[in-house]
Amino acid sequence: MGEVSRYLPLQGGIVYGPVNSRRLGRSLGINLLPRELKLCAFNCVYCQYGPTTVPGFLSSPIDPVKLPAPSEIERALRSALRLYPGVDYITFSGNGEPTHHPRFSDIVSRVTAVRDELAPQASVAVLSNSAGAADPRILKSLECLDRPIMKLDAGNERLFVQVNRSHPSVSFEAVVRGLSELKHPNLTIQTILFSGEPDNSTDDEIDDWAGLIAQIEPSEVQIYTIQRSPATLGIFPLAKTLLDDIAARVSVRTGVNVRSY
């Protein structure tokens, strides 16, 4: 018998689901990335897909043959929406970071047009690592979505490097600046908190992070903890009571609605 992987399997196609999500209801996922590998400029210590094996996106050009073309994505979404016209969300997610697809902007236009035609009640969202927020073209596409859900796990560059282990071309300062410029009415920040090595849940780290939340002014912040086997050993989930306490403290300090899951 082969070894059972402790990581989540990669998505095998373009459209998957619908999945029942605690935060998004019934959501159809769209994977813009290759089927056989995770493509991401980050290598987060907790990644459920395991370690990033192709590091970076700027230094290693993506083979366009391995990426779905915008027309293919549109076709796949049309077929799925004929089967599931009542979904609540259509969400860019999948095998890594959706905004790394070089034709992300064209894809966003096509997906929102298909949504208008076949499932006007559905919102279009992205689950993003926020690296693209540093690029003004990607920022523009994010503004066209109903709900950009953006990752921010650290309140300073030292911790960002330890937790997200990003490609050196990603500047923490530029990411935070981009998120601060993204004045979207439904901007959501998502943060995974944990203890161990590294630990982004200490009072000092939460203090720095809350300072950035106050600067970015999202409509909502969602905090949660690790649930499956992380990519790196040595980090541990937080108790729900601690998450609730952090959510309450940061809500009071920033005036932003912080929810714990």
Q: Which residues bind ligand SF4 (CB under 6 A)?
A: 38, 40, 42-44, 47, 49, 52, 96-97, 129
Closer Cβ to ligand SF4, 67 or 114, answer by number: 67
Specify whether the CB–CB gap between 58 and 49 falls below 8 A: no
Q: Which is nearer to ligand SF4, 38 or 115 (CB)?
A: 38
* Cβ distance to ligand SF4 smaller for residue 42 or 74: 42
Q: Choose between 123 and 129: whose C-beta lies nearer to ligand SF4.
A: 129
Nearest to 238 by CA among 196, 205, 197: 196
Looking at beta carbons only, is 40 or 246 nearer to ligand SF4? 40
Instruction: Work out how close the CB of 174 gets to ligand SF4 at its nearest, in angstroms, rounded to a whole number.
Output: 16
Return the number of other C-beta atoms located less than 10 Å from residue 214's C-beta. 13
Token reading at 37: 């590998």
Closest approach, Cβ 51 to ligand SF4, in A, equals 8
In the complex, minimum distance from the CB of residue 81 to ligand SF4, in angstroms, rounded to a whole number: 25
CB of 43 to ligand SF4, least distance (A): 5
CB of 132 to ligand SF4, least distance (A): 11
Q: Which is nearer to ligand SF4, 81 or 238 (CB)?
A: 238
CA-CA distance, 48 to 7, in Å (whole number)? 5
Q: H/E element holding 16?
A: strand 15-21
Q: CA-CA distances (angstroms) from residue 169 to 41, 135, 147, 166?
A: 9, 12, 26, 8
Q: How far is the CB of 121 from ligand SF4 (least distance, A)?
A: 28
Q: What are residue 41's phi and psi, to 5 degrees?
A: -80, -10
Please state, in angstroms and as integers, the Cα–Cα distance from residue 167 to each residue in 56, 102, 190, 243, following that order: 5, 17, 20, 29
Nearest-angstrom CA–CA distance, 221 and 129: 14
Q: How many residues does the chain have?
A: 261
